[in-house]
Structure 1
Amino acid sequence: MRGRLLIGVVLTLTFVVGCTSPFDRVGGDAAPAGSPSASTSPPAPSDPASATPSPTAPASPTPATRTTGPAKPLSEIRRTDWPNAVIDNLKFCGGSDDTVRFRNGSNGAAVPCKILPGGASPVYAEFIVEEPAIAPSTEDALILVELGNPGSRRAQALVPVQLSDTGGKRNAWPVIVGGSGDRPDEIETFTSYRVVGENVRATVRKLDGRTETREWRKADGGGTWERTTVG
């Protein structure tokens, strides 16, 4: 039984350390709320032996040994209040001003642009090339936005977001746009997305309802994206 407890502790600590390391070049997944989490393990079957009461062991006089250090502070990009974020250069959302100001998840326009619709989550990773090359590395974000009203033409896009040199602004790079049909609400949706190295990989629900995995890589220094082969 003690061996099982020790294994559980080790696994728990590994998960905590992985989640609090802010500069790993490891992407994550984001999906609408209610989607099953890949990090959630099914409950282990009950152990008949554990159901049998046993005498209480005496307390050990030796204090527990601390095996983990203090949690690292969140990176600046992770502190972003996305439903109320201000993002520059986000031309996908339309309007005469390239700066988009979200309030409670929407820019409030007649043809609204919504940030992280359907309970989607941001992905954090260092995947946008820093300029100049000697600039300190920082995490970037990949978020989902949707343009349009229900019942009319809509489109979704994955948006890479990088901090400005001063760290005070959030700047959007060229976006990855999903397809849309001729009829209202006929759009391709990103059901999950992640960063793989410096590429973006996503699961897309196509217009015919089927899903496929797509991957994009940066085609030039300006951050333009092009489809590539998965694998």
Structure 2
Amino acid sequence: MLNCVIFDLDGVLVSTDELHYRAWKAIAEKLGVPFTRQDNMRQRGVSRMESLEVVLEKCPRTFTQDEKLALATEKNDLYRAMLTDLSRADALPGVRETLAMLRERGVVTAVGSSSKNTPEILQRTELGDGMQVVVSGLDITHSKPHPEVFAKAGERAGFAPQQCLVVEDAETGVRAGKAAGMRVLAVGAAKDNSEADFRFATLAETLPHWDEIFSAFEQA
């Protein structure tokens, strides 16, 4: 049975990609290195320090760990300042309808995100009350594609991996969900990932298909 759905945050529930891009681009410009939207795509689903390495690989000089931490902190400060503009309207299409439908079916809804800003984003978009379990970058040691964030969310929800479905939009997130022993619904940038069990362009597009998803779990 499908008893728990674990949602990634950025790109699934809320789109903050543009904010991340602008903040990282500001750091790159400070360092005098180019930073493109393609570079930004490579940062999907990974930790802040791993994202920083994408920026620094174009820089001819080396950085100490303290310098890297300072740059990552500066980026996060820029990003958090931009988060103040987030509101209820920034939840992606289909999110609230999906959460309401899952609640009606008695399914536990959870968030599994590598972002340490998850609690603030959920609060500003008024999505926090719809989540019974939240596991963020504040709770984990390993970022995706390591399965820790999803495994921990499933454990906190009280269900075995085979009772959980991960919803992801990043390749690293799909790998993390599968590594956790869970089925994965891929949307957005990950919709063509052959490792995913279910694939749709957007979360809104999945709304007419949840009976099929539930049936797939029942038949397993």
TM-score using structure 2 length: 0.28
Instruction: Tell me: higher relative CO, structure 1 or 2? Use CA pairs within 8 A at least 6 residues apart.
Output: 2
Larger Rg: 1
More helix by share: 2
Question: If each structure's strand is expressed as a fraction of its own residues, which one has the higher value?
Answer: 1
Query: Normalising by the residue count of structure 1, what TM-score does the alignment of the two structures yield?
Result: 0.27
